[in-house]
Structure 1
Amino acid sequence: MAVVTALGSQALWAFGRGSGLVALVLLTASVVLGVSARSGRPLPGLPRFAVTEVHRNVSLLASAFLGLHVVLLLFDPYAQLRLFDLVLPFAGAYRPFWQGLGTVALDLMAALVVTSLLRHRIGRRAWRAVHWASYGLWPVALLHSLGTGTDGAAPWFLGVTALCVLAVFGALGWRLSTRFSARREVRG
């Protein structure tokens, strides 16, 4: 029985870490797609309208993997994650500062999801104001993964992280450049 419990605990830890990494990669893709959607330009192989749909679906998938990450770590005895750690940042038992960044990222993601679901009720201006939080969410999530993750110094993890950083900085550089011209919104 102890072997089964140990294997189950190791599986929770492995799936918890893996789902966190997948959430980070998907969040990176979501930021890059969000910048692309704002430009109104097509991407290779995708028409303009599809960029927005892919952005929305990748964002939802990132949210799902983040949820999986949190739920798995709630049941993992090594992570020592408690329910109130999901809302109260920097109070965790395991690496409180870095875990607290994860809580901040989770709270920001929840705000983005809720306001996106209520977009037509709260209005475009309020939605956009909250949606700007995604530019803060991504680096907070990245720092959380580097500081809390047990693989944070592993070469493969640093390689994935470097690719994520390059992708987001490349998209933001394009967004801030004079070559970027945002699609004009049609108001109805």
Structure 2
Amino acid sequence: MDEALWALGRGTGVVGLVLFSLAVVGGIVVRSGAPLPGLGRFGAARLHRDIALLATVFIGIHLVSLLFDSYAQLDVVDFFVPFLAAYRPVWLGLGTLAIDLVLAVVVTALLRHRIGARVFRFVHRGTYLLWPLALAHAIGAGTDAAEPWFLATVAACAVAVVAAVSWRLVLRARERRAADPVAPVERPRARVGVAS
């Protein structure tokens, strides 16, 4: 039974990381205002939300399966208070911090209409911290960290997120330049009627 729980915990953790990476990329696309081909802005926002929800479900399964796995030696407190776990406390602590941020994002998403868009956006930006914490957790706590398939998966996730963030920064820089163009420098006018 422990082997099955361990395999379930590992598998759902990797799938959760992939889905969270896709959710981050989707969120960056949605925030940019660029529509996805065939989806439009509303469809892109819905896809982003659904992928993030699915990622949260997989991470929930990841946590529950490892809670009941005797090899992982986790307690419920390890899911909320970082760096207390008996097994790889630093790496599991990073995962705990990521879970705390996931909970904050989920709660603010559910209360978005009550707390306002400004608070929602502020907390939602925590995903820029959540994602690297989850990535570091996966690399440091995962028992498959040296496996080629795992390294390829992590590399693909990293490339996708870094590319999306880079694209968004370039797009934002272009938007700022277009909104605030530098005034052209006037050339000095030739004086008429002045002898040299």
Q: Structure 1-normalised TM-score? A: 0.90
1:41 Cα deviation (Å)? 1.6
Q: Which runs of 5+ in 2 are unaligned?
A: 177-196
Is the aligned partner of 1:79 residue 2:62?
Answer: no
Is 1:174 the counterpart of 2:167? The answer is: yes
- How many Å apart are 1:9 and its aligned residue? 0.7
Q: Which residue of 2 aligns with 1:97?
A: 90
Letter in 1 for 2:42: F
In the alignment, residue 96 of structure 2 is paired with which amino acid? T
Measured in 1, the distance between the counterparts of 2:86 and 2:58 equals 23
- 1:84-121: CA deviation from partner (whole Å, max 9, x where unpaired): 10111001000000000010010000000000000000
Query: How many residues in Structure 1 have an aligned counterpart in Structure 2?
Result: 175
2:146 aligns with 153
Deviation at 1:48, TM superposition (A): 2.1
How far did residue 43 of structure 1 move? Answer: 1.7
2 CA distance for matches of 1:44 and 1:25? 22
Aligned equivalent of 1:28 = 21
**How big is the alpha-carbon RMSD for the aligned residues of Structure 1 and Structure 2?**
1.3
Instruction: Say if 1:39 and 1:181, in contact at 8 Å, map to a contact too.
Output: no
Give the secondary-structure state (helix, strand or coil) at the position aligned to 2:138.
Answer: helix
What CA distance in whole angstroms lies between the structure 2 residues aligned with 1:102 and 1:11?
21
What is the match of residue 125 of structure 1?
118
Amino acid at match of 2:87: Y
User: What SS does the aligned partner of 1:42 have?
Assistant: coil
- Encode CA deviations 1:28-48: one digit per residue, 9 max, x unaligned: 000000011112222233222
Q: CA deviation at 1:49?
A: 1.4
Query: Relative to structure 1, is the Cα distance of residues 50 and 178 closer, same or farther in structure 2, using a 3 angstrom cutoff?
Result: closer
Q: CA deviation at 1:181?
A: 4.8
Report % sequence identity.
55
* Change over 3 Å in CA distance of 1:178–1:40 after alignment to 2: closer
- 1:109 is matched with which residue? 102
CA contact (8 A) 1:101 1:144 kept: yes
Report the AA paired with residue 101 of structure 1. Answer: L
Structure 1 position 142 matched with structure 2 position 135: yes
TM value normalised by structure 2: 0.86
- Separation in structure 1 between the aligned mates of residue 94 and residue 53 of structure 2, nearest angstrom: 21
Question: Structure 1, unaligned stretches of length 5 or more?
Answer: 1-7, 183-188
Alpha-carbon distance, 1:136 to partner: 0.3
The amino acid across from 1:66 in the alignment is I
CA contact (8 A) 1:24 1:142 kept: yes
- Cα deviation, 1:110-133, whole Å, max 9, x if unaligned, reads 000000000000000011110110
Alpha-carbon contact 1:89-1:100 (below 8 Å) kept: yes
